[in-house]
Amino acid sequence: MTSIHQHPVSEDERQGPPSPARRRLTWTRALWITLAAFGIWLLLDAPTLQHNAKVSPVGTRRTVSLDVLGPIAAVSRGLGLSHVVSIGDGIIGRSGNQPGNGSAVLTEGPHHGSPTPTTAPKQSPTATSTTVPAYQSPTAAAPLRVLVVGDSLGIDLGDSLVNDLANTGVVTATLDGKESTGLTRPDYYNWPAELQADLPKYDPQVVVIMVGANDPQDFPGPPDIPYGTPAWNAAYSERVQSFMTLASSTGAKVVWVGMPPMQSPGLSAAMANLDSIYQADAAKNPAVTYLSSLTILGTPQGQFTPFITANGQEVNIREPDGTHISPGGGEVLSQAVMGTLRSQLHINLPA
């Protein structure tokens, strides 16, 4: 009889190879768990993601993000899930009231050093109508002090304006700009606090303001104030009036530059709504002059156009994104602001 020797069979060999069905089930289950977790996270954090999109630079990416996140954020708020996130943030000590990380610009015009803080000349309440305020006749020895503040479009203007004003030889001009900012979300960037710090530092006699491109968004609650409602317009108007009052609180004159028409019909309509608020609020404050940019950076009818004819030449005034102002457009708007300083504030600026 032939002896057959058998090798010991291991436990793994007795059990055989893993079942393909088991592997498929485990992989499928993991995928569904991952997708479910992502869906829950997206639903919980949608309002925050929507906020981050709203304060991002205006453009195609921002528009698409808002279109996708808008309905999800609405469901999250409707179910009260945003409060769960707020409670969780409070437990771990995380606060959303931090300034954003957008690029900041703080520049002064060429040919001039840093402005030395001084006490702004106060006009006597008994001055007669024949008395010419000192700021209306600036000289190289006593230059006009101008502060320009705003968001990315304010920077587009300010880059040209600060240089043009400084080149007159009788103006000290400073630009304080911050991209992706506005008056709607002081928790992201607090413009009133920034301006409050700028006033004693630069002691401006004229403050030029251009802000608003990022402002058409809900006021966060509780309770939320949805953009596009009468309550939102009233709340925003209060902030605009407060900002105007602050800008003129040290005796400075204020030039508020309105938003230009946009290539996107929806964004352009939102800018028109903001412009109507700026114009109405400026009319209530004698220190504020409103300058509309609709026909300066648009067609004679106030519609969007990437090119205009100036001095017989075609000028590209808008960036390809249909929102921001090109260097050529910044120069056109800068000259309009300087014209306002001459005609409305009666400041004698060299041509």
Q: Percentage helix, strand, coil, to 5, in the chain?
A: 45, 15, 45
What confidence tens digit (pLDDT) does each residue in 142-164 have?
999 999 999 999 999 999 999 99
**How far does CA 228 lie from the centroid of its chain?**
18
pLDDT reported for residue 120: 32
239-249 core/surface letters (b: 16 or more CB in 10 A; e: else): bbbebbebbbe
* Best mean pLDDT range from 65-79, 105-119, 244-258: 244-258
**Mean pLDDT of the residues in the chain:** 81
Please indicate whether residue 99 or residue 340 has the higher confidence score (pLDDT): 340
E-assigned strand segments in the chain:
104-108, 144-150, 171-178, 206-210, 253-257, 288-291, 307-310, 313-316
How far apart are alpha carbons 324 and 157 in whole angstroms?
Answer: 10
Q: Report whether pLDDT(337) > 60.
A: yes
β-pairing, 206-210 vs 171-178, is unpaired
The pTM of this model reads: 0.69
pLDDT digits (tens, 9 = 90+) for 259-272: 999 999 999 999 99
Q: How confident is the model at residue 348 (pLDDT cuts 50, 70, 90)?
A: very high
Residue 300 is predicted with a pLDDT of 96
* Banded pLDDT at 75 (limits 50, 70, 90): confident
Ordered structural domains, the chain, with CATH: 19-92 (no CATH), 104-119+133-343 (3.40.50.1110)
For 8-12, 78-82, 278-282, which range has the lowest pLDDT when averaged over its residues?
8-12
CB contact at 8 A, 120 and 205: yes
Q: Which pLDDT band holds residue 287 (cuts at 50, 70, 90)?
A: very high
Q: How far apart are CA 259 and CA 276, in angstroms?
A: 10
> Contact, 290 vs 302, CB < 8 A?
no
* Region 179-208 average pLDDT: 97
- pLDDT in the model for residue 1: 47
| pLDDT tens column, 51-70 | 455 444 445 665 677 678 77
Lowest mean pLDDT among 27-31, 145-149, 153-157, 246-250: 27-31
Instruction: Judge whether residue 171 has pLDDT over 70.
Output: yes
Q: Please state, in angstroms and rounded to a whole number, the distance separating the CA atoms of residues 224 and 156.
A: 32
pLDDT at 324 over 80: yes
Q: What confidence category does residue 4 fall into, taking pLDDT thresholds of 50, 70 and 90? A: very low
43 confidence band (pLDDT: 50, 70, 90): confident
The mean pLDDT value for 121-130 works out to 35
Residue with the bigger pLDDT between 330 and 96: it is 330
